[in-house]
Amino acid sequence: MIHRSPLPDVEIPDVPLTDYVLGGAAARGGKVALVDGVTGERLTYAELAAAVAAGAAGFARLGVGPGDVVALVSHNQPRYAVALHAALAAGATVTPANPVLTEEELGKQLGAARASVAVVAETAADKVRRAARAAGVRHVVVLGTHPELPGFDSLLAGGGPAPRPALDPATAVAALPFSSGTTGTAKGVRLSHRNLVANLAQTRAGWRIGADDVQAAVLPFFHIYGFTIILNSGLLAGATVVTLPRFELATYLRVLAEHRVTRAYFAPPMVLALATAPEVAEYDLSSLRYALCGAAPLDPDVTERAERGLGCLIRQGYGMTEASPGTHQVFDADFPDTPAGSVGRLSPNTEARLVRPGTGEDVEPGEAGELLIRGPQVMLGYLDNPEATAATLTDDGWLHTGDLVRVDDEGRFWVVDRLKELIKYKGYQVAPAELESVLLTHPSVRDAAVVGVPHAEGGEAPKAFVVAGGELTEDDVLAWVAERVAPYKKVRAVEFLDAIPKSPSGKILRRLLKERPPS
């Protein structure tokens, strides 16, 4: 059975990404495109368009063109957008990287991507310079100043016409993000200009972002969620994007209030913080119209608590790096009628199947199955990894998501769990996300994660890692869960931590928890 979007297919322009996103930027003139929520730095749309053209000319002077890769290693800031689109306009592929990666991790990504230029934030410049030298990167340019490295402004000041490289949007790789590696080795994901343009056109059909919107951008642009859904969706619509380098509750709330933010974007840890912070009530957040959470399943109870503080509904979307990323949306019009916890319906031009894991057989209506996706936003494949590509993409274009999903009678999708994270206790399948939701209802649990660990009787059993917000013992946790789940789902061990390890996008890094020595 093939599921389809309730919305009609949309037209996908056959143009490069920057042409699509910034094609109307110059005409918007003095409208503010980007604001740094900390420093106050601003870029108008006219300034952004001019800087991108100048930056593209600067990259061309460095010899950058089609076939080259530019690494962009930075936190969110207005100049991120300039560097990104200048490199794309020069014909290069951009590989975004997390600036908090270690030197070794950065070196691996730079080497695997075969980057020739690295554009880096001041705070990570020295580390990236060392990693770049080891990886054979020819040029390192700083978004700011550095005593020994050229600044990005030098690229903008050199003059010359902006290049117009000949690119086939369907085959030219625009972005090369590396998957999070939460369940294995990170892999370069080859996303074409058409993949990304398609996803922007698709999501725009359901999320009607306009020029009057102000978007808060704290989720990182080096992650595909921030890259597509926040930054480029906002610029495409002519909205104002307010950047923040990291999530700090007081600063974030101030930005929402001062900039009259209309659309907020969350990962689950942010929602949990907003649900439990009394200071939310101190800020005027009446401008908020929509709030979207992605990257990992969100507990409905936590969602409702956060909504009461924000005065705004929070709904989920769904996607993955390999799908540019969006595949499912709670459309703006459906926010009031969609239950918290659902990831909504399929985006236009997107097909889905639910199959029994390990088979190609469709599940019965109402049953959970592995989600398969097909659409123009699905990646070209993994970088230099045909085996992983073949294991993830079928010959007829279906993308295996590795997520267990069900569809209700209204055509709404619900994520049950990650297949690879399912715990098998005595042959029964136990979903960590379900147990985490139970744990988060305890008044003294601030955060929690569950993984499977070896168990003498069951083969594997759930172990809870808990961040306590008050007096709490292992017996308290065990009893709380045991009273609320079937016997085979009970947590068998508990370990207390100061913080749950998570990726920048908010996903629990279960691999790190599994690798911890027994307490």
Flag whether pLDDT at 181 surpasses 60: no
Q: Would you place residue 455 in the very low, low, confident or very high pLDDT band (cuts 50, 70, 90)? A: confident
Amino acid at 93: T
Distance CA 130, CA 107 (A): 8
Q: What is the pTM of this model?
A: 0.86
Q: Which DSSP string corresponds to 26-79?
A: GGGTTSEEEEETTT--EEEHHHHHHHHHHHHHHHHHTT--TT-EEEEE--S-HH
Q: Which pLDDT does position 330 carry in this prediction?
A: 97
Distance CA 25, CA 39 (A): 23
Q: Which pLDDT does position 434 carry in this prediction?
A: 85
pLDDT digits (tens, 9 = 90+) for 368-377: 999 999 999 9
Report the 10 Å Cβ neighbour count for 423: 24
pLDDT digits (tens, 9 = 90+) for 117-164: 999 999 999 999 999 999 999 999 999 999 999 999 999 998 888 899
- Least confident window among 132-141, 290-299, 317-326: 290-299
C-alpha dihedral (248, 217, 193, 122), degrees to nearest 10: -60
Report the 10 Å Cβ neighbour count for 133: 12
CATH number for the segment(s) 422-514: 3.30.300.30
Q: For the chain, how many residues are written?
A: 519
CATH number for the segment(s) 47-166: 3.40.50.980
Provide the token pair at 35: 């604001």
Q: Would you place residue 197 in the very low, low, confident or very high pLDDT band (cuts 50, 70, 90)? A: very high
Flag whether pLDDT at 362 surpasses 70: yes
Provide the token pair at 50: 């001019």
Domain boundaries, the chain: 47-166, 422-514
The yes-or-no answer to whether 47-166 and 422-514 have a common fold is: no
Q: Which pLDDT does position 298 carry in this prediction?
A: 77
Amino acid at 383: L
Average pLDDT taken over every residue of the chain: 93
Q: What average pLDDT does the segment 466-480 reach?
A: 96
Q: Which residues contact residue 335 at a Cβ distance below 8 angstroms, ignoring those fewer than 6 apart?
A: 290, 313, 315
Residue with tokens 């979007």: 5
